[in-house]
Amino acid sequence: MPEIQTEKSHDLKMQYEAKIERQFLKGTKDEDLGIYCDLFSARSNIEGQDGGVVTALLTNGLQQGTFDAAIVVRFMDGYTAEAVVAETAEDVLKGKGTKYLKVNVTKKMAELIKQGKKRIAVVCTPCEAAAVRRIQQTTGKDCEIIIIGLFCFEAFNTDRLREEMKTHLGVDLNKVEKTQVHQGKFTALVEGRVVSCRAKDLDCASEKTCLFCDDFTSRLADVSVGSVGSRLGYSTVIVRSEVGEKLVKNLEAVKGTVDTLKVAKIAKLKRARAEKSFAGLNKI
């Protein structure tokens, strides 16, 4: 009976998230933004995507000894990406920039824990943040895990994105140097020129599992970062825990205010899409 199973799975998910919130997070709970104790817009002095805040947090954390290693996602050949370990500021810089791809970071995290690493920072999307928390619960106080969660509406499948970009933009994905999604517009830098289209035009290239995810702002992270709600060149930063407060404390950045209504609007859209997707399963 699909309907009963779906409702049960949803209830279990909500119970799990509530347990994580009680165990790790602090602050005021907002239906769309999640739990947070601080929220601001920022642009660091490091050149990076949307203000370079994630890169700045990681480099500061490594230099100040807040954590011993960070798991970041780095582009590989053919517009693919994989999780790698960064132990120096130079390693972090090699992984800067947003990758709109689904990458498993928990496998790399498990490897680090087996190697004896005790203090680890992880940069990941909402679905991966939930998986990281599960591992963190099993390690107890033996490991200090810091999660920097990224805003994520959906991730692209590389093969399908390659086809869609050829159709809509007439470009070879293998030659793309940088991509960005901002205010509903997908932009790519290809051999020194900029091409763009509506992000909606590339919906067919998204991972199908993303249709069932209702978390846009990485609600289970210690610090969430994304571009929505901030002006171009700035990042929206949502601090959700005491660990997150310590991480952003020494962040050198120009700060501003966040348009929370814009963040809430996208969060509502993603939640509604997930509800619609699950409702479709119930009719099967």
Chain segment 164-201, per-residue pLDDT in tens: 999 989 999 888 888 888 778 898 888 889 999 998 89
pLDDT at 86 over 90: yes
Q: Give pLDDT, residue 179.
A: 85
pLDDT in tens, 141-154: 778 999 999 999 99
pLDDT of the residue at 2: 36
| Separation CA 61–CA 41 (nearest Å) | 20
User: DSSP code of 207?
Assistant: -
Predicted pLDDT at 6:
56
- Other Cβ atoms closer than 10 A to 21: 18
DSSP 179: E
Helix (H) or strand (E) holding 77: none
pLDDT of residue 81: 87
Q: Write the CB contacts of 122 (distance below 8 Å, at least 6 apart in sequence).
A: 70, 71, 105, 109, 128, 129, 132, 145, 146, 147, 148
pLDDT of residue 3: 41
Quick: pLDDT tens for 219-245: 999 999 999 999 988 999 999 999 999
State how far the Cα of 85 lies from the Cα of 92, in Å rounded to an integer: 9
Task: Quote the percentage of the chain above a pLDDT of 90.
Answer: 59
- Contact residues for 80 (Cβ-Cβ < 8 A; gap 6+): 101, 158
Query: Which has the closest alpha carbon to 173: 227, 100, 240, 222?
Result: 100
Residue in 87, 36, 42, 64 with CA at minimum distance from that of residue 245: 36
pLDDT of residue 203: 87
Q: What was the pLDDT predicted at 284? A: 55
| More reliable by pLDDT, 101 or 58 | 58
> Which of the four pLDDT bands, split at 50, 70 and 90, describes residue 283?
low
**Residue (of 79, 128, 81) closest to 106 by Cα position:** 128
- Single-letter code of the amino acid located at 18: A
Average confidence score pLDDT of the chain: 89
pTM for the full predicted model: 0.89
The structure tokens 């769309």 sit at 32
- Which token pair is 271? 């939640």
3-state helix, strand, coil in the chain (%, to 5): 45, 25, 30
